[in-house]
Structure 1
Amino acid sequence: MTTKNTIAVLVNDHPGVLQRVSGLFGRRGFNIESITVGQSEEAGLSRMVIVTVGDENNLEQIEKQLYKLVDVIKVIDLSSKPMVARELAMIKVKAEPPQRPEIMGVVETFRAAVIDVGTTSLIVQVIGDTEKIDAMIELLKPYGIRELTRTGVTAMIRGNA
């Protein structure tokens, strides 16, 4: 059964590691739906959080192939455990003064924030799971989305694990 998988990859913080990891996915024919990379809790190591779609066999192959890369320290299947996943989006929406109260209602409903106000637009920041971001985008589309950027998913296993 094909599912969305979220994996964390702990890697050495060296130039070219991101290219090698993403290249591995491309060579194997696996699509990366989103990827985030940043510092980890350990100096000299970065954590990549990758969302991909595939079945259990695909995921197993990805893990095996990742471990063959020299700079990969650890691969964790986050989606197999209870996890917390978040994404950030910034949405520049057309907002003439008469429309702003309606747009602000959407912003408040999603516990989002207006982070910039222009004469004919607003930039809205929303943080949450992918479904929340998608829902907010759908509600803002009728006003006219001028620009949209998303970080991709970042995630951690819940609790003490």
Structure 2
Amino acid sequence: MRHIISVLVNDQPRVLARVANLLGRRNFNIESISVGESEEPGLSRMVIVTNGDERMMEQVSKQLHKLVDVIKVQDLSEHPSVARELLLVKVEAGPSVRHEISGIVEPFRASVVDVGPHSMMVQATGERSKLDALLELLRPYGIKEMARTGVTALSRSVARAGV
């Protein structure tokens, strides 16, 4: 089962390496990992996507909590959450096909962020399946370069009755 784990950590050197090493020692494949500032000064949020059953995820959570710089671990797969990824893709695009490519990009709410003599760069955000679908439609034109951020995610707010 696919899990998205949010880990709040102290913003210190080598924390990412220690977390990745811990997962690697336990034979967990990291499908994606993204790290950035959090809402708290001095803390960063890591979002890790991996696969495993509930027992394995519980073990990973316990092991992560043992690391000194780990403040909070949350399996976002257990709660309603929003997960997104950023894609930049450079596509072969001479003047004759640019309008056609723009037509493909528009329904995905993606945007053209750069145009060169023989290429276009498209930026898209969304769930992994949406980005995969966009790539499949762009592939026949020729993908020159591509970069994906990996998943970033937060838990959804919970609506409470009477509030």
TM interval, shorter chain, is over 0.9
Q: What amino acid does structure 2 have at the position aligned with 1:16?
A: R
State the percentage of identical aligned residues.
63
Alpha carbon RMSD of aligned pairs, Å? 0.9
Unaligned runs of 5+ in 2: none
Aligned equivalents of 2:109, 2:38: Cα separation in 1: 28
Matched, 1:16 2:17: no
Give the corresponding residue for 2:151.
Answer: 153
**Aligned pairs for 1:12-161 within 5 A:** 12-160=10-158
Q: Please state how far the C-alpha of 1:160 moved relative to its aligned partner.
A: 3.9
Residues paired across the two proteins, number: 159
Give TM-score, length-normalised by structure 2: 0.95
Paired residue secondary structure (2:48): strand
Determine the C-alpha separation between the residues in 2 that align with 1:27 and 1:118.
Answer: 45
Render the CA deviation track for 1:14-37: whole Å, top value 9, x for unaligned.
000000000011111000101110
Tell me the secondary structure at the aligned position of residue 62 of structure 1. helix
Please list every run of 5 or more consecutive structure 1 residues that lacks an aligned counterpart in the other structure: none
